C-alpha cells in the first residue's frame, strides 16, 4: 500500500494566536523538539 503525503496546518485562533507554535517554541529540551519534528515529518510523508 502506498503512503499518501499529508499537508499539516497550524491551528490559529480568531485573534491570531497559534497555541501549538507557542507551546513548541517554549520547549527547552532540544531532543524532545527533534522527536516532535521528526514525527510531524513522518506524518507529512503519510507514515
pLDDT in tens, 3-41: 889 999 999 999 999 999 999 999 999 999 999 999 999
Residue 31: what are its φ and ψ, rounded to 5°?
-65, -45
- pLDDT score, position 39: 97
- pLDDT score, position 30: 97
Helices and strands (H, E) in the chain, number of each type: 2, 0
- The four Cα atoms 28, 29, 33, 38 give a dihedral, to 10 degrees, of 170
**What's the CA gap between 8 and 43, in Å, rounded?**
8
- The four Cα atoms 35, 9, 43, 33 give a dihedral, to 10 degrees, of 0
- pLDDT score, position 47: 84
- pLDDT score, position 1: 73
Amino acid at each position: 500500500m502506498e503512503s499518501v503525503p499529508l499537508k499539516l496546518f497550524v491551528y490559529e485562533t480568531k485573534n491570531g494566536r497559534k497555541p501549538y507554535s507557542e507551546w513548541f517554541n517554549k520547549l527547552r529540551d532540544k531532543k524532545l523538539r527533534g522527536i516532535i519534528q521528526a514525527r510531524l515529518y513522518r506524518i507529512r510523508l503519510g507514515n
